[in-house]
Structure 1
């Protein structure tokens, strides 16, 4: 009989990790070993480099129906098959992560952020109580800030109420409001009370809209440090006042960039987890689809290298654009064609046009050539599809005109009249990248045979 095995953390998020066979003679110790081995194989496939820093030792227990199997508990009265009856065909694996376990394993598995990096984030936050997540748009800073805040609430022992986490979304007009908010907060922290009315964590999102962060945080100089809530800020780039913030306000900076972990490897881990679930549900492994899922992150990195060469790292693309990749061969091909023509190419054109205004001229290399040379779909698909994929010509971004100007000619840029009729210019990928927020939730994770 085929039974389902799920891996689940404390939240109602479940991730399908595999199928195992359970016979009428399977004993509990045998099932223990099978589940541990399956989990180990799963995390290795999701993250072949480090297995997320996890091992089978991070399994706290597993449940079959109402029965909980853990080493600290007595062996259940019946054999496993006695509890896998009727519609009860799910085994739920629980990872360590509860407050009393003082473990990050469940957090790591859910967010796909390797454990050593996760541990460093929490150590900084717990020790200094104030961190700022800084990096290009689309690297998951807001998502990470919210998940860190949730974990801090769990560690504090306080219930996850609406007032436990306060979020202040900063915009161009809110400097004065933020200053007043922080001043009131400092006053509350300095008052003789136990801080019960204060939030445990404050998230200050989009701090790059503030001109002088040091001035904004001056109110905290007189704040009772141990009563002040944890503060997690996010911003799209570093600012000149960062040393001052570290020196006078005890902030610590965490870089979230597309070329460093955990962002660099996130797309691959996410797509592999998605692929594994699809394979289990369909009970089939498609080698061509595996090749495609391996190619998508490489394409993302190649495009970002192109942007760094011809513009800057500040305009590199975040991984979220690529997360919706369908888990089937034909669907993924159609999806990529649309993504390439209507999102990626228009954005690359605009970013390079802007980059030519400020950076040196590097040798031109059309990234679409790399896409054509490494195209993972079959040759039949390539013959049918490639003519419909747009290319990036140097003249489309004024590259040749810019080169001529460097040589002393009068042609400096493509005339405005030439670009007004270009349909590619009309497409703009607003935000220059996307946050990884919330896309890690609500993914079903079952399986056992």
Structure 2
């Protein structure tokens, strides 16, 4: 096996066995094992039973802290404002620019209620109401992402959520000033420096200090994902996030170094991240492979990128543009780059993708930080049935039914027949009382 084959997988859609090879490459098991499940269950039960004290003990144990109570794990609005004011001007301005663009995009997502009146006077409609309280989980430690604060909190704020509670782990007590500044800018109500399953439990059940929320959003490690899955039903959740993904379709005319770096941009997240390039130009694929080999040693996260590419990355030769699109729809990637001359022509054929980046100049990284659309996206093929996080995730819809006397009489006759057909006579009689002779 050559060095290039070790660095990143090479596949051809024309080869026998391609489907099985692609399935193996895409396979990712996000379900925790029995040991993780048992640990998470124990933490959830403990927090539900003992509240603050259980959260403090778990935080001291897992984040190597030494605090006596929740007051030491709560950050005041003044502390968040101080973090924002203390940023270097360049960082503060970049954060403000990103926040404004994210806010402006999500303002356009705000749905409105609607009603219509039928000829008999009956009114039907829908009422849109924001959640009362949302919980935002923000990764901490090595993976400290102020951009995640903006992407999770701003849509909640735009939706009209009155209280946004943020949790962020701070291993060894290390605070990330950019994360705190982003919380200030995004209108977060309260911040607790807790993480892991204990933070999810605190948000889901409420404790003496942490308010119970209606929905928990935001990515985390396997313990966080397992906890979110476990409390679903007690509260709403956004999704069970898997590793980061990028799939690029190139027509062979984009600079190979640009594409190599685009693949690196997702591969550097972690060893399980996935970066795939599709093209019907074999020489172009070779050029990208050479660029990958040349540029990889220049990366700060070289080891992580190398592991990601060798495990789950691929350069895939397709026989045609159409076949590339078919493969892309099969993968249903989190991020899809259409690095081609006419992306508008191809985009109409894309059925499954979390976010679509159109044209050679639209690097996926722009969407991660400041383009405007949300970077919280469906992973692991769930773009087949899921959408990016948005304002609608922080609102709920209620149906409105206001029958006129005539409408109640007309509908009552239909309801009576159907209810008696289901042997639900109280239903039938309730409707029949409203029927006019």
Normalising by the residue count of structure 2, what TM-score does the alignment of the two structures yield?
A: 0.22
Of structures 1 and 2, the one with the larger relative CO (CA 8 A, separation 6+) is 1
Normalising by the residue count of structure 1, what TM-score does the alignment of the two structures yield?
A: 0.22
